[in-house]
Amino acid sequence: MVLHINSPFIDSMSISDIAGHPVWLKMDALQPTGSFKIRGVGLMCQRAFDRGEKHFVCSSGGNAGHAVAFAGRKLGARVTVIVPETTPEFMRKKIAAQGAEVRVEGSVWDEADQVARALAAEPGCCYAPPFDHPDLWEGHSTLVDELVAVGHKPGSIVVAVGGGGLFCGVVEGLQRVGWGDVPVFAVETEGAASFAAAKEAGELVTIPGITSIAKSLGARRVCQKAVEWAKSYPVTSLQVTDRQALDACLKFCDDHRILVEPACGAALAAVYEKSFEAVGESTVVVVCGGAAVTRAQLETWDQMVEKAQ
């Protein structure tokens, strides 16, 4: 069973105009769970289910858990999602509405993850990680196959990085289809820059905390595979401020009439703010989406960023 959809791929007149360069959008915000996560999570859960694992235990900032809950409902598996306190109440409800049990543990994702791992050690349970698994990367790589299907080789690809699952999937896909020369821009917010830290150090680094509003990018340490790709693949690490990520969400809402989280706003901000020199004939932005956003939540973030300044 394939649980994700082929997402729309559109050229953005408004963003191209600002960037002064053709910008195309891979609209994974329109996936059934509101983010790209279902690509990899769908494949991972399907394989686990086929092996006879019928209870998925997942730690998540929100979107991975939402995708596991969706996959569990479609496959007929039990799902427990452990989220940190920072995951908004309305997002917990969305996950629960998919039939999953939701538990709140810890103040950041790492703490929720420790609880999930302990729980998953019980018999009959299967740990479903949010970004560190080859099945996730393989599933996320289908995004690149869809670009191949429409014959669009990007000049570069822009992705947001949390734990690095999306980044690993996109790079794996580019390599597999023979597009290993397409540079990737990996974007984080300043208060969640675990990939930038690892890339600079050349090894895994655990950053002290997550201070960004982009909680979906809030892995204090990226996966090992992301560090390996950072050494062998043409990738540039970029950082934007929370203000830039949030403003990008607001601009994107006006430009394309779709709400996305600041995690996704980070990738969009890199283009809106012209954070890099455009290469090749087009820039493709992965609009990774995020379901943990409402108009009211955007206003709350706006006040938080304003106060922090």
Judged by CB under 6 A, the stretch of 8-16, 115-123, 271-279, 282-290 that binds ligand PLV is: 282-290
Q: Is 161 in the site for ligand PLV (CB under 6 A)?
A: yes
Which lies closer to ligand PLV via its Cβ, residue 188 or residue 247? 188
Nearer to ligand PLV, 12 or 33 (CB): 33
- How far are the Cα atoms of 14, 149, 155 from residue 22, in angstroms, in the given order? 10, 19, 10
Q: Cβ of 9: how many Cβ atoms within 10 Å?
A: 16
Q: Considering beta carbons, is residue 31 or 282 the nearer one to ligand PLV? A: 31
Give the C-alpha separation, 93 to 123, whole Å. 27
- Dist. CA 260–CA 35, nearest whole Å: 9
Query: At a CB cut-off of 8 Å and minimum separation 6, what does 20 contact?
Result: 274, 278
Tokens of residue 25, six digits: 């959008």
CA–CA gap between residue 226 and residue 224 (Å, rounded): 5
Under the binding rule (CB under 6 A), the answer on residue 263 touching ligand PLV is: yes
Q: Candidates 22, 42, 72, 130: give the one binding ligand PLV (CB under 6 A).
A: 130
Q: What is the DSSP letter of 217?
A: G
Is residue 235 at the binding interface for ligand PLV, with CB under 6 A as the rule?
Answer: no
Please report whether residue 289 would count as binding ligand PLV according to CB under 6 A.
Answer: yes
Q: Which of 16, 13, 21 is nearest to 279 (CA)?
A: 21
- Per-residue string for binding with ligand PLV, 187-226, x by CB under 6 A? -----------------------------xxxx-------
Residue 183, SS3?
Answer: coil
Whole-number Å distance between alpha carbons of 55 and 244: 39
Q: Which of 27, 166, 213, 245 binds ligand PLV (CB under 6 A)?
A: 166
Angle between helices 142-149 and 165-176 (to 10 degrees): 40
Q: With binding defined as CB under 6 A, does residue 87 bind ligand PLV?
A: no
Please identify which residue in 60, 98, 212, 244 interacts with ligand PLV, judged by CB under 6 A.
60
Least spacing, CB of residue 217 vs ligand PLV, in Å: 6
Binding segment (CB under 6 A) for ligand PLV, from list 121-129, 174-182, 228-236, 285-293: 285-293
Q: Locate 12 and state its tokens.
A: 């953005």
Size of the site for ligand PLV (CB under 6 A): 28
User: Sign of the CA dihedral 268, 271, 272, 273?
Assistant: positive
Stretch 98-127 residues interacting with ligand PLV (CB under 6 A): 109
Rounded-to-integer distance, Cα 163 and Cα 63, Å: 13
Q: Could you tell me which residues are beta bridge partners of residue 235?
A: 184
Strand 184-189, strand 235-240: pairing: parallel
Q: Per CB under 6 A, does 160 bind ligand PLV? A: yes
> Does residue number 163 form part of the binding site for ligand PLV (CB under 6 A)?
yes
Task: Using CB under 6 A, pick the residue from 12, 31, 33, 35 that binds ligand PLV.
Answer: 35
In the complex with ligand PLV, the residue whose CB is nearer, 61 or 173, is 61
Interaction site with ligand PLV (CB under 6 A)? 35, 37, 60-64, 109, 130-131, 160-167, 216-219, 261, 263-264, 288-290
